[in-house]
Amino acid sequence: MTLVSAAPVLRPRLLLAMVLIGVASGLGGAAMSWTLHAVQHLCFGTAASPYTDPYSEVDGGRRILALLIVGAVVSLLWWLLRRPQPPVQSVKGMVAADTPVRRQPPMLRGITNAFTQVIAVGGGASIGREVAPREIGALFAGRIGDALGLDPAQRRTMVACGAGAGLAAVYHVPLAGAGFALEILLVSFTLDCAVLALGTCALATIVARLTVSPLPFYRVEALEGTWPVLLAATAVGLVLALPALGFRRAVARVEARRLTGWRQLAGLPAAFLLTGAVSVALPQALGNGLAAAQWAYDGGSLGTAALLLGVKAVLILATLGAGAVGGTLTPGFSLGAVAGALLGDLAALAVPGTDPTPWALLGAAAFLAVSMNAPLTAILLTIGFTDQPASAFLPIVLAVAVSCACARLVTARAETGTEAGPRP
C-alpha cells in the first residue's frame, strides 16, 4: 500500500457519485439484512439478534429439514446462474473493469447471485454473507459512475468504495469498510481515495440503519493492554499464523475446484444436509460463524472448542467446494475466536491463574488478518464487530502484527525456494 498526497477531490461530480453510491449501497445492505432475517424466521421461527443465534432453541429435525430445503433451492439457483453467459463477475473484476462484461456485468444476474448467498446463510450454511453486499455495492457504483461520466480512474475508485460501503452497511462498520476498499481493492492510500471511501461508507452505514442494528455484533469483555494480555497476544499470533495461512490456501483450492453442473445439484444439498446433521450435536456450527464466535467469547469448554474448531473448518470448505458462493470473513473470524478460546483454556491449565477470556478475541483478529491477507482491515473489523475501547487497540494490533509477520516469513521463504528451484 502506498501513501500519496493528492490534489483536493471535492469536485461536484465525484461528490455526487459518493452520495449516490453511499445511498444505493446502504439500501442494498438494508435489503439484505431484511432478507436474512426473513429467511431465518421461515427456517427457525426467529432471527439472529445481537449476541444471540436463531439455532439453539430449535430441535435438530427442524434444522436438518431447513438446511435440506434451502440447500436444494440455492443449488438450483446457482446452477441456473452458471448456465448462460456471461458469468457473474467478482468484486475485483468489477473494480478492474478491463473487459466489457466486467465493466457492465448483468445487473439481474448479479443481484440474484448476491441474494442467493444471503438466503444460503439465513438457512444456516457455513459461509459468510459479506461478499453479497460488496457485489451489490460494486454493481450499483459501476452504473452510477457510467451515468455520471467518470473517467476510468475515478470509476475504479468509486466501484471499490461502493464495495466497501456494502460491507460497512451490513455490519455497521464504516471505518472497516473504508479500510477494505483501500487496503484490499485499491491497494493504495491517497488522500483523495480516503475521503471518498470514508464518505461513501459513512453514508451507507447511516442508510442501512433502516434494518441494521447499530449495536456491536458480539458481546465481548473489553480488553486491557496489561502484560498478561500482551503475552497472550504474542502467543496467539505465533500459534495461529500457520493454521490461518493453511485455511486461506485451502479455501483457494476448493474454490478453484468447486463443483459445477449436475455435480453441484447433488453435492450442494449434500453439504447442507451434512451441516444439518452436525448441528444436532453442535448447533454453534450453523451459519456464518456468529454463533460459534459468541460461544467462544462466552467461555466455551475445552473439549467442545476443539471439536467445534475442526467441524466448522470442514463445513466451510465442504460448502464452498460443493458449489456455494460466499465469503470467509466471518467464518474465519469465528475459527480464530474458537482457536483462541482453545489456546486460552490450555494456557489456563498450564499456568494456573491465567485468564483465558482475552484469548478468543485476540485469536479472531490474528486469524482473520492472515486468512484475509489484510492486517489493517482485520484490526478495524475486530474493533468494529466488538466495540472495543482504546485500551484494546495495543493487544489487538500486536496479535495481528505477530501473526502476519510469521505468515509472511513462511510465504516469503516458500517464494524464494520456488524461484531458486530444486537443488542439483
Q: Say whether pLDDT at 129 is over 70.
A: yes
Q: Give the residue, 50 or 227, on which the prediction is more confident.
A: 227
DSSP string, 25-94: HHHHHHHHHHHHHHHHHHHHSS--BTTB-SSTTS-HHHHHHHHHHHHHHHHHHHHHHHSSSSPPPPHHHH
Q: What is the pLDDT of residue 51?
A: 64
| Average pLDDT value for the chain | 91
Burial 326-346 (b: 16+ CB within 10 A, else e): bbbbbbbbbbbbbbbbbbbbb
Q: Tally Cβ neighbours within 10 Å of residue 219.
A: 14
pLDDT in tens, 361-409: 999 999 999 999 999 999 999 999 999 999 999 999 999 999 999 999 9
- Are residues 286 and 174 part of one domain? no
Q: What is the mean pLDDT of residues 154-170?
A: 95
Q: Is the pLDDT of residue 150 over 80?
A: yes
Q: Are residues 153 and 261 in the same domain?
A: no
Q: Is 38 a domain residue?
A: yes
Residue 422 has pLDDT above 80, yes or no: no
- The CATH number of the domain where 141 resides is what? 1.10.3080.10
The per-residue pLDDT for range 281-336, each reduced to its tens digit, is 999 999 999 999 999 999 888 889 999 999 999 999 999 999 999 999 999 999 99
Beta strand 3-4 with 189-190 is parallel
Question: For 238-255, what is each residue's pLDDT tens digit?
Answer: 999 999 999 999 999 999
Beta bridge partners of 3: 189
Mean pLDDT confidence for 402-419: 83
Rounded Cα gap, residues 423 and 417, in angstroms: 10
Q: Is the pLDDT of residue 167 over 90?
A: yes
Single out the residue of 153, 121, 110, 137 nearest to residue 9, CA to CA. Answer: 153
8 Å CB contact between 369 and 375: yes
Give the model's confidence band at 108: pLDDT under 50 very low, under 70 low, under 90 confident, else very high: very high
Q: Quick one: pLDDT at residue 47?
A: 67
Inform me whether the pLDDT recorded for 417 exceeds 80.
no
Residues 247 and 381 in one domain: yes
How high is the pLDDT of residue 93?
93
According to the model, what pLDDT value does residue 420 have?
A: 46
The arithmetic mean of pLDDT across residues 173-197, rounded, is 92
Q: Could you list the beta-strand ranges (E) of 116-229.
A: 189-190
Quick one: 334 and 379 in the same domain? yes
Q: Are residues 117 and 159 in the same domain?
A: yes
* Pair (185, 322) in one structural domain: no
Q: In the chain, pLDDT over 90 holds for what percent of residues? A: 75
Is residue 100 domain-shared with residue 155, that is, in the same domain? yes
E strands, 25-72, where? none
Within a domain: 156: yes
Is the confidence at residue 55, as pLDDT, over 70? yes
Q: Which of 41-45, 216-220, 357-361 has the highest mean pLDDT?
A: 357-361
Lowest mean pLDDT among 59-68, 140-149, 199-208: 59-68
Same domain, 195 and 297: no
pLDDT the model gives residue 189: 81
**Confidence tier at 191 by pLDDT (50, 70, 90):** confident
**Strand spans (E) along 143-219:** 189-190
Instruction: Please tell me whether residues 314 and 403 are part of one structural domain.
Output: yes
pLDDT of residue 423: 38
Query: What SS3 state is found at 97?
Result: coil
What is the chain's Cα-based Rg? 21
Residue 60 makes CB contacts below 8 A (sequence gap 6+) with: 276, 279, 280
- pTM of the full predicted structure? 0.92
Tell me, what's the pLDDT at 5? 39
Does 199 fall in a domain? yes
* Same domain (yes/no): 345, 403: yes
178 lies in the same domain as 315? no
Where among 178, 209, 240 does a domain terminate?
A: 209
Q: Does residue 203 lie within any of the structural domains?
A: yes
Look at residue 91 and tell me whether its pLDDT is greater than 90.
Answer: yes
Strand partners, 189: 3
- Reply yes or no on whether the pLDDT at 72 is more than 90: yes
The arithmetic mean of pLDDT across residues 172-184, rounded, is 95
What is the average per-residue pLDDT within 267-292? Answer: 93
175, 209, 243 - which closes a domain: 209
| The predicted structure's pLDDT at residue 324 | 94
Overall number of domains in the chain: 2
Quickly tell me which residue has 452520495 as its cell.
19
Query: What element of type H or E holds 3?
Result: strand 3-4
In a domain, 409, yes or no: yes
Higher pLDDT, 354 or 197: 197
Report how many helices (DSSP H) and strands (DSSP E) the chain contains, helices first.
17, 2
Domain membership flag for residue 423: no
Q: What percent of the chain has pLDDT over 70?
A: 94
Residue 217 is assigned to a structural domain of this protein: no
Within 274-403, strands assigned E span none
pLDDT value at residue 87: 80
CB 56 within 8 A of CB 128: no
Q: Which range of residues forms the domain containing residue 249?
A: 227-413
Peptide bond into 84 cis (omega under 30): no
- Is 109 domain-assigned? yes
Same domain, 295 and 176: no
> Distance between CA 111 and CA 99 in Å, rounded?
20
Taking 90 as the threshold, does the pLDDT of residue 203 lie above it?
yes
- Are 292 and 338 contacting, i.e. CB atoms less than 8 angstroms apart? yes
| pLDDT above 50 (res 64) | yes
Is the predicted pLDDT of residue 2 greater than 60, yes or no?
Answer: no
Which among 144, 175, 209 is the end of a domain?
209
